[in-house]
Amino acid sequence: MKLSELTAHELLDLLKAKKETADSIFSSVKNVIDATEAKINAYAHISDKPIQSKNSSQKFQIPIAIKDNICIKDYPTTCSSHILKDFKPPYNATVVDKLLNSGALITGHANMDEFAFGSSTETSFFGPTKNPWNLNCVPGGSSGGSAAAVGAHEAIWALGSDTGGSIRQPASFCGVVGLKPTYGRVSRYGLIAFASSLDQIGPLTKDVEDSALLLNLIAGHDKLDSTSANIPVPDYTKSLTGDIKNLKIGIPKEYFIEGIDPEIKESILQAIEVLKKQGACFEEISLPHTEYAVATYYILATAEASSNLSRFDGVQYGLRCHPKDKRRTSLIDMYEETRHQGFGQEAKRRIMLGTYSLSSGYYDAYYLRAQKVRTLIKNDFNEAFKEFDAILTPTSPTTAFKIGEKASDPLSMYLSDIYTISANLAGIPALSLPCGFSKEGLPIGLQIMAKPFDEEMIFKIAHSYEQNTEWHKKKVAL
């Protein structure tokens, strides 16, 4: 097996035993990038040499891809948008500093939906990323580049960001493990914001142990982020015991309604049987406000996006365009032309939707009401976690769809995140891991959710399932 196909913990064992070097591991990954990137398009920006720190501990010298909305100092960070063309931040995101200090070897910036607006990585200025399991299908989004890079062995592990499922849904589509930590568990400093009350950085990895390892590296309080939680960080690898006896896991009936792919439903039911054999107890529950999650999310997320993206005006950084019409010489004319040329269609759509819901006369009817419904959704989870240790659901109602299939139908695209959005609205942790494959050979994802700051519970259940199945061991053949 090639070094690029191994997990991070397997490679760390080889490094510790001095059977391999950081250079040989990076070279193996770089060879895969050179051979497959033209087919996958997992990266927005690739570094020929690893981005690394000369003053690091050298403990975790593992190649990692970073989503293109997480700042790397003096390196192109563009959110896969034309409007941030050639932008190079003067600072690192906190998570990047933590990784570099641990010895990480950054391979480059992974492709993504423009400003994280999408569920398929088709809205990128750099073109769509392809699903490594089927090049005619999307990898999911918006962290599709990160998920595809890990799935195609173009990175050992990766960082993504999750606003409404943007780590978990592509993890499901690409057959990898994706974790959205609790809101506040990982610093957002240096993450170019989409929706500030929903965004969370998290790991995409080849297995659950790698996910726990990577969360160990990036979690923790950060005084540079006012939303960062000042709560002690445990060693998540210690939760990988395999012991889940007598754990109570809820199965929300609202997640198994009409519209779910029968193959996905069957895979989830089989996963439940695996966990039952390990001693877990299951019971059907209700999360009654689930049906309002998508509408609530798209009001709140677009409103916050409208506010956050107002800074991109062609003045301070990024693209600047002047109208061809010489009569249009005002500052407003420059703003309009820059945004017209710089933003893609989906970005424009979301900015307009958000601006509308925040406008005078509509704020109470839309934004304020959505905030109240968000509280109801959060309360549903609070009540459930009074009795249950975790909640188990599908990650997505379908497997990866064809490229272009939903590009002209925004509502259908938005519904791709129907099972993942609620965790962001409630601020709770959630993880997706492989639990099967469709008849077409496309991965299926299982989602596990737990109470705030109880990522240990998620890892415990996910690792137990993984150790009793073989799905995570399947490799892409490119």
In the set 4, 119, 142, 172, the catalytic residue is 142
In the set 47, 53, 67, 211, the catalytic residue is 67
* Whole-number Å distance between alpha carbons of 474 and 458: 22
Could you give the angle at which helices 8-16 and 22-40 cross, rounded to 10 degrees? 150
In the set 81, 119, 166, 187, the catalytic residue is 166
For this structure, is 324 an active site residue?
no
CB 358 within 8 Å of CB 306:
yes
Alpha carbon of 93 to those of 63, 65, 213, 258, 282: distances in Å?
A: 17, 14, 19, 42, 40
Query: At 295, which helix (H) or strand (E)?
Result: helix 293-308
Assigned token pair, 159: 């960082």
DSSP per residue over 370-382, as a string?
A: HHHHHHHHHHHHH
Query: At 50, which helix (H) or strand (E)?
Result: strand 43-51
* Whole-number Å distance between alpha carbons of 451 and 383: 10
Assigned token pair, 447: 């989602």
CB 53 within 8 Å of CB 130:
no
The dihedral through the CA atoms of 450, 475, 397, 411 has a sign that is positive
For this structure, is 142 an active site residue?
yes
390: helix, coil or strand?
strand
CB 303 within 8 Å of CB 357:
yes
For this structure, is 67 an active site residue?
yes
Rama region for 385: left / alpha / beta (φ>0; ψ in -120 to 50; rest): alpha
Residue 183 phi, psi (nearest 5): -60, 125
* Whole-number Å distance between alpha carbons of 5 and 295: 40
Which residues form the catalytic set? 67, 142, 166
